Each structure stands twice: as structure tokens, then as C-alpha cells.
Amino acid sequence: MTETREYDIIVVGGGMVGASLACALAGSGVRVGVIEAVAFQSDTQPSYDDRVIALSCGSSRILRAMGVWPALEREGVTPIERIHISDRGRFGAARLDSKTEGVEALGYVVESRVFGKVFGPALARAEGVDLLCPARLKSFDISPRRVRVLVEHEGKVRDLRAGLLVAADGGQSVVREQQQIKLWRAGYGQTAIIANVTPEKNHANVAYERFTDTGPLALLPMTENRCSLVWTAHDAEVPALLDLNNQAFLRRLQERFGNRLGAFQEVGRRVAYPLSLMHVRERVRPRLAIIGNAAHLLHPVAGQGFNLGLRDVAVLAETVSDASRAGQDVGDMVVLKKYSDARRGDYLRTTSFTDGLVRTFSNNIFPLTVMRDAGLVALDVLPPLKHLLARQAMGLAGRLSRLERGLPL
């Protein structure tokens, strides 16, 4: 028999962004149903996987306001106290420091799996949130008056109804595809290889961003003096890099990164992620909002993807809870347009910042290399410029939502 359930919002995808939205709305009076296909701690979970996330200061504030920060800290959060940006084989370098910026940390490093460990139980006990996981989305229908979703969960078909459908189902979003939302997409011809490595010296909570002729290479400080490596390489180079044995891989890494952290001693499992830039042409439609990776894919060079998705969450949660308190229909275009308009500036800033970094630093055209060296030196010696970059990297540029200011919804 089919069971019917009523919500205000149905979120498809309980990955890092969808789960954050449900946690943000917990206790707000907005009833949320979350449909997630894969169990949170499963080895095949595509969101809570081997990636390691550099969280901006702004994101840490959102997660604190949502009440999940203490649990994340218990599982493992590493503060970033300094960022060192350099250009391999050239003289330019810039440094950002948490002390100069007057903050406890420039950002924090958290493993994606840690998010899975924390979000699973947090959603199970969240007030007003109903988690259906693992559940299979059978079909959905968006009509002018409501949203209807059929899911298979615990061997039963459930008929879910709501005023708003939120697509948080990642880069291959089925909801987005079925709604035929047009995309803007560009390839980089680059793939990120990620792995955890252990250096000889103490990482001292420094994050390194090193630009090389084949693409950027980042090392983020982690617990137990490990570093999370994100090595961006041309697509054609990737199979050979994955095939190298551990010793040969570490030698190649040493050659690319240099000796700032001494000799690299160990490397964990290597996983490859092809990279592209994508964003949807419409973020909202009547009774539909698209957030997180379903709405935008970014190069991981500046570690902005989840941070941007979390800011989607903060603004959407604020907009729908205000609308619900005012007795408005949360799926109405007046409400959704308010959300979409509020997000436009951040999308433009973050996308152009990230894309600009990749394109400027991924080639060897002579005037550009001189300009970027001069740019890095200028950045290092001009405090206002440095402060501006730090604000963008810390996720504190532009208008801040209530959750980012540490206030309740």
C-alpha cells in the first residue's frame, strides 16, 4: 500500500549540501523530507567519500549556527593558520596569516567522511526532518499547486507531497535533467588526483597552494600531521600518475612541490576526479530550487565548491523560514526569486575568482607569467589587496546571511 506524507520542502540528495539544508531548517517549523539514495557511512557514498574539504571561516560559522560544529570538532577539524601561495620555478609568492586577519583561523580542514558521520545521526534526530535513506526516487511531478514525489523506501512506495522541491542531488542531478534546465559548461582538460600524504616536517597548520605548469597543487594540513594532497594534472598525464608505485609517486610529488615540508614519507589511496566548470542557467523555477553541485561545479583550486553550496543553504533556509513564518507559500516564485537574486553576486564573484586563478596560473605564456609573479609579489606587500583576497578565501565577502553572522534563523 502507498503511504502519503506531507512536508513543506522535499530535498532530493542528502549529501553534504542537502543534509546541511535539512540541519539548518531543523526546529524552524518548516517540515522537511530528505531523500538520499546511499547510506551515509557506505563505501559507495558519493558525497561522503575520500575528499578532504577546506572550509572557509564563513562556512564554519554556518555550521556552528546549525549546531553541528562540536560534533565535527570531536571527529577531526584542523585549523588553517597560514596559507602559502607560490609559483613553481618562479620568484612570486604570497602569504596569508590568520593573525594579520584577526581571526582564529583562515579556514578549517575536514574529511568528507567526517561530515557523513556527523550528518547521519544529526538528521535522524533533527526536529521536523524526516530522513528517507536509503531510498530510490521513482518519479516526481511539479504542478502549479504542489510537488509530488514517489519514492521506494523500506520496501514500500511512499507518496510525498510538498510546496517546494530542492534538487541537491549533485553534479549528475536527475531532477535538473528531467526538468531540462540548461547548463553553461566548460572543460579544463584537467583531473584532480587526491591522496593523503605524510611529510617529514610538521605541517604547522599551513596550507600550500603551488601553481605549476601543468596545473595547481594543494596541500592542506590534517590531523596526525597528514596533509591532503590535491594534485591537478592534464587529463593525459593522469593514468601514468595513478599507475606509479607509491615511492615513484612520492618522488614525482617531491619534484613538483619542493622541500618545504621535508621528504614525503607515505601516501594513501589515490583517487581521480575529472574537473569542469558548470553552472545552471536557472537556479529556481516555480516550486523548484537547485543548490550545491547540482547548480554549480567549480575547479577545486580555491576550495570553494562546498563553501558556495553552504552559502546557498544559509540563504535558502533564511528565505523559506521567513516566508513560512509570514504565512507565504515557500514554493512561490516571489519567495524563490528573492533567494535567487540574493545569490547572484556571490556566484559571479566566486566563479570568476576560481576560474581566473586556474586560467592565469595554468599556462606559460611569457607576459602572463611575469604578470602573475608581479601579482603575487604585489599581493604579498600590499595589505589592502591581501585583505581582500583573504576575505574572499574566508567566505566573508559580500552580504552575509543570518547563519553566517552566527544568528539563528
Ligand X SMILES: Cc1cc2nc3c(=O)[nH]c(=O)nc-3n(C[C@H](O)[C@H](O)[C@H](O)COP(=O)(O)OP(=O)(O)OC[C@H]3O[C@@H](n4cnc5c(N)ncnc54)[C@H](O)[C@@H]3O)c2cc1C
Q: For residue 385, give the C-alpha cell.
A: 589587496
Chosen residue from 33, 58, 309, 331 binding ligand X by CB under 6 A = 309
230 binds ligand X (CB under 6 A): yes
Crossing angle of helices 305-325 and 16-25, in 10° steps, is 30
- Of these, 7, 8, 15, 166, which contacts ligand X (CB under 6 A)? 15
Candidates 23, 35, 167, 315: give the one binding ligand X (CB under 6 A): 35
Contact with ligand X (CB under 6 A) among 22, 24, 30, 36: 36
300, 196 contact by CB (below 8 A): no
How many separate helices (H) and strands (E) can be counted in the chain?
12, 22
Nearest CB to ligand X, comparing residues 307 and 369: 307
381-388, Cβ contacts within 8 angstroms, sequence gap of 24 or more: 383/100, 386/94, 386/96, 386/100, 387/101
Site string for ligand X, 288-307 (x = CB under 6 A): ----xx------x--xxxxx
3-state DSSP of 280-299 = ECCCEECCEEECHHHCEECC
Least distance CB 325 / ligand X (angstroms): 26
Closest approach of Cβ 295 to ligand X, in Å? 8
Which of 17, 21, 96, 222 is close enough to bind ligand X by CB under 6 A? 17
Neighbours of 256 (CB within 10 A): 16
Alpha-carbon gap, residue 403 to 289, rounded angstroms: 19
CB of 17 to ligand X, least distance (A): 3
- CA dist 44 and 46 (Å) reads 6
Q: Contact, 194 vs 51, CB < 8 A?
A: yes
Closer by beta carbon to ligand X, 169 or else 404: 169
Q: Which is nearer to ligand X, 294 or 379 (CB)?
A: 294
Q: Which of 7, 13, 25, 195 binds ligand X (CB under 6 A)?
A: 13
Among the listed residues 23, 142, 194, 195, the single contact to ligand X using CB under 6 A: 194
The residue within the footprint of ligand X, chosen from 153, 273, 385, 398 (CB under 6 A), is 273
Binding mask 110-139 for ligand X (x = CB under 6 A): ---------------------------x--
Give alpha helix (H) positions in 26-136. Answer: 57-65, 69-76, 98-101, 112-125
**Residue 312 contacts ligand X per CB under 6 A:** no
Residue 70, burial from CB neighbour count under 10 angstroms (0-12, 13-18, 19+):
exposed
Choose the stretch contacting ligand X; rule: CB under 6 A; options: 67-75, 162-170, 233-241, 326-334.
Answer: 162-170
- Tell me the three cell numbers of residue 86: 607560490
Residues in contact with ligand X by the rule CB under 6 A: 12-18, 35-38, 46-47, 51, 53-54, 137, 168-171, 174, 192, 194, 230, 273, 292-293, 300, 303-307, 309
